[in-house]
Structure 1
Amino acid sequence: MIELKSPAEIDQMRVTGQFVARILSELSTIAGIGVNLLDLENHARGLIRERGARSCYWDYAPPFGRGPFRNVICLSVNDAVLHGLPHDYTLRDGDLLSMDIAVSIDGWVADSAVSVIVGTPAEDDLRIVRATEEALGAAIAAARPGNRLGDVSAAIGAVAADYGYPVNVEFGGHGLGRTMHEAPHVPNKDVAGRGLVLQPGLVLALEPWFARTTDRIVFDADGWTIRTADGLPAAHSEHTVAITEDGPLVLTRRDTEVPRP
């Protein structure tokens, strides 16, 4: 069942969204050569605790995964792209780090992800990060009343095709509101002009993620961390977006972010 949010409820979700944006902005500044993933996890925990917010990841137990998730952020390095389990790993020069976090404030959820390169970036890594950011921008632009869900997914897939990247459709975007995962599912590739008609009040987490040469994924022994089957670095970008009468409203926009078309 798809639940549309009122303008007042979207305003409440925007409060959460700006807090999520703050967390990712701070962690993006902190992440550097010699920083341990557990330091980033602990910093995020401290911010959530100080704000009186609630982690949507803590105790999350979907059909995949091995036991409940007992962290507040997903930290995925290099060929890990989704659901990376924070662990004792020290970031090195050139690492591609994807950070994904969802929290709830006063019962309203926001979800966002960003990929950053630690130290000296490789050109291929810059390219794949840029592709996910451009795809996210294209998806946001398509998230307008009267368009269809397929238009949003097709916009993501078109950017991937332009860059020559295959697209995995097992994991993608989703609705959200009172909970982290609501209908509808938003695949990162589809046919324009079909699917759900977008209406004001629909709030979506749009999250393109790309690997370089494959759409296949493998799971780590921890049951959570998802890696690219080609073993090459991947990237992930995500925003929570509300569809309004005036068009898309990005609820998790970071102050330092340069919007891409």
Structure 2
Amino acid sequence: MILIKSKREIDFIRESSKIVAETLQLLKRYAKAGITTLELDKIAEDYIRSNNATPAFKGYSQAGSIDFPGSICSSIDDEVVHGIPGNRVLKNGEILSIDVGVEKNGYYGDAALTVAIGEISEEKKKLMDVTEKSLYIGIEQAVEKNRIGDISNAIQTYVESYGYGIVKDLTGHGVGKFLHEEPQIPNYGKKNSGAVIKSGMTLAIEPMINLGTHKVIVADDGWTILTADGKPSAHFEHTIAIIDGKPEILSIN
């Protein structure tokens, strides 16, 4: 069931999403060669808790997995999403995808971005640029009376024009009272398919785009998703609300 939110509920989601956005911008400043992903995780958790909020990912569980131990997901190069923060030191030339979720007042916000560590290759720059632009192209389709498939198709059409692989095993999702709600929002699909978009919906749209194959594998830790061919991946995400028939990005400063 897709939950339609009231203005009051959207304001709560906006507050959580704003903390997410601020946390991501803070981490973006600290994400340099020489720092560990665990150090970034500590910075994020401290900031989130200083805003009387809770890291949404910490302790999150899914079937067959350990509880997620981090406050952020930190995914480097061929790690697509759900990378566990640890003692790995960031190196010049890598790209780092950072995913942050926040719960405050019983409502969630969720967003992600990919950052360059030092000087990166033109190949990685282009992958990041296309992935980020595909997010906004998808958001443009999130208008009342369109369907979820219109978001999916817009992302797919743009990304595949560059020959990149679209991760199909993972999707965007509704967000609000729960971290993951209906509907699922694939990054590929047919126009005029799926649920009708209505005012009051709150959605997390998140293209996960691979330089090579769309195929992914799960690491031994049970969480980290990697590209099957070892090539890099990029990830961008925003929480949005459909207000007066149009999309508004909530996960911004």
- Write the letter of the residue equivalent to 1:182: E
Q: Is the counterpart of residue 111 in structure 1 residue 93 in structure 2?
A: no
Q: 2:23 corresponds to which residue? A: 23
Question: Which position in structure 2 is the counterpart of 1:91?
Answer: 90
The residue that corresponds to 2:201 in the other structure is 202
Matched residues in 2 for 1:148 and 1:246: separation?
A: 12
* Whole-angstrom distance in 2 between the partners of 1:188 and 1:223: 23
Cα distance in 2 for partners of 1:12, 1:87 equals 31
Deviations 1:202-247 (A, max 9, x none): 1100000111120111111111111101101110000001011141
Tell me the C-alpha RMSD between the 2 structures.
1.0
1:182 counterpart = 2:181: yes
Residue of structure 1 equivalent to 2:168:
169
Counterpart code for 2:240: V
Q: Which residues of 2 match residues 1-261 of structure 1 at below 5 A? A: 1-63=1-63, 66-254=65-253
Q: Which amino acid aligns with 2:81?
A: L
CA contact (8 A) 2:22 2:252 kept: no
Following the alignment from structure 2 to structure 1, what is the Cα–Cα distance between the partners of residues 212 and 30? Answer: 30
Count of paired positions: 253
Q: Give the SS at the match of 1:2.
A: coil
**Does the 8 A contact of 2:112 with 2:235 survive in 1?**
yes
Aligned 8 A contact 2:49 2:55 in 1: no
1:144-183 deviation per Cα after TM superposition (whole angstroms, max 9, x unaligned): 0010110010011011111111222210100011110000
Deviations, residues 93-132 of structure 1 (Å, cap 9, x unaligned): 0110000011111111000000001000210111111111
State the one-letter code of the partner of 1:175. G
Q: 1:52 deviation in Å?
A: 1.5
Q: Structure 1: how far apart are the matches of 2:124 and 2:151?
A: 25
Overall identity of the aligned pairs, in %: 37
Q: Where does structure 1 differ by over 3 angstroms across 4 or more consecutive aligned residues?
A: none
| Residue identity matched to 1:57 | F
Separation in 1, partners of 2:67, 2:251: 26
Alpha-carbon separation, structure 2, partners of 1:213 and 1:232: 6
Unaligned stretches of 5+ residues in structure 2: none
Q: Which amino acid aligns with 1:190?
A: G
CA distance in 1, matches of 2:212, 2:53: 39
Comparing 48-57 with 27-36, which one deviates more in the overlay?
48-57
Counterpart CA distance in 2 for 1:163 and 1:7 is: 39
Q: Is the 8 A contact 2:36 2:90 kept in 1?
A: yes
TM-score by length of 2: 0.98
Letter in 1 for 2:219: D
Structure 2 counterpart of 1:257: none
**What SS class does the counterpart of residue 163 from structure 1 fall into?**
coil
Deviation at 1:253, TM superposition (A): 2.1
Aligned-partner Cα distance in 2 for 1:70–1:46: 15
Larger mean Cα displacement after TM superposition, 105-114 or 52-61: 52-61
Gaps of 5+ in 1: 255-261
